[in-house]
Amino acid sequence: MHMKNIQHLGSSVFLAMLLAFSAQSQSLKIMSYNIRLDVASDGENAWPQRRDFLAAQIKFYEPDIFGTQEGLPHQIEFLQKFFPDYNSAGLGREAGGKGESTHIFFDKSKFLLKQSHTFWLSPTPDSVSMGWDAACLRVCTAVLLKDKRSKRQFWVFNTHLDHVGETARQNSIDLILKKIEVLNTGKLPVIFMGDLNAEPGSIIITRLEKEMKNARTVSETPPFGPSGSFNGFKFEEPVTRLIDYIFVSKSAGVSVKKYAVLSDSKDLRYPSDHLPVLVELELR
C-alpha cells in the first residue's frame, strides 16, 4: 500500500476513535445552591435586594443542571421566568405544594425528564409529614433525565436536611440512600446534592462517603474557592463552615474533573447566605 494511503488510513482511524470516545463521554456542569428563603427580617439581604444578582450569577456559570434549597413558590417562579431555557421539577414541603422546596432545574435543550419524585424525609415519605426529631418538614426531589444527544440516562437527587435534629439527619440519609437503591434499578449514574447541615467528618458525611464519592475530595483538580459554603451574610468573615455538597456514584464511569465553591459578591454583599457549589463531571 502506498505510504500516503497508509497515512490517510491512520488519520481516519484516529479520527474515528476520537469521535467514538467523544460520543461515549459526556461533560456535565452541576450546581447546588441554597438560595435562602424570602424573609423581610433579612433587611438589606432580603430576596428582592439580591434575586437579580443571584440569578445572573447562575446564568454566568451556565450549569447544565442546578438544584435549589429553601426556595419558596414565588422564588421558584422567579427563577423559572428568568431561566426560560430550563425545565424544573419539585414540590413545596407543605400541604398543597406550599413552602420550601428542593427544585431541580435542567437545560431543556439537552435533557428529557423521564421521571420525577418528591418524598418527605420521615417514616411516611409518601405524604406530608415531619421526620423524627426534625424542627421542620423536609423533602428530597429526584429526577431521571435522558440526554438527548447521547441517549444516556442518569438520576439527580436534591435535598435539604434538618438543621436541628441529629436523628432526623441520620435517618434522612438512610432513607435517601434506600430511595436511590429502589428507584435506580438500572444501576445508572447518580448525582446527589444539597444542604446537608453537616460538616466533613460528621456521622452524616462519613456515612455518605461509604456509599458515594464526595466531589470535593475526589476532584481531579484541586478544589477552588473557600473551604466553607455557609457565609451567614457575614461578608467580613472567612467562610469556613462546609455544609453544602455534591456526591456522585462510585461507578468507574463517573469522574469529577473540577470542584468549586463560588464566592461572588456585589457591593460587599453575597447573593445568599450560602455559597453555591459547582462541579464539572464526566460520564463515560
- Dihedral of the CA atoms 167, 168, 174, 180 (nearest 10)? -170
Mean pLDDT score across all residues of the chain: 93
| 205 contacts 199 by C-beta, under 8 angstroms | yes
CB distance 132 to 167 below 8 Å: yes
Q: Which residue has the cell 417514616?
A: 123
Strands (E), 161-207: 190-195
pLDDT tens for 97-110 read 999 999 999 999 99
pLDDT digits (tens, 9 = 90+) for 32-61: 999 999 999 999 999 999 999 999 999 999
- Strand pairing category for 26-34 and 65-69: parallel
* Fold classified for 27-283: Deoxyribonuclease I; Chain A (3.60.10)
Q: Across residues 72-78, what is the average pLDDT?
A: 98
Distances (CA, A) of 276 to 20, 67, 69, 250, 263: 34, 10, 11, 23, 8
Helix (H) or strand (E) holding 142: strand 139-147
What does the block give as the cell for 278?
459547582
- When pLDDT is cut at 50, 70 and 90, the band that residue 274 belongs to is very high
Going from N- to C-terminal start, the domains of the chain cover 27-283
**Is the separation of the CB atoms in 229 and 215 below 8 Å?**
no
* Rounded CA separation 229/58 (Å): 16
User: How far is residue 231's CA from residue 99's CA, in Å, rounded to a whole number?
Assistant: 23
In three-state secondary structure terms, 71 is strand
Give the largest Cα separation in the chain, rounded. Answer: 80
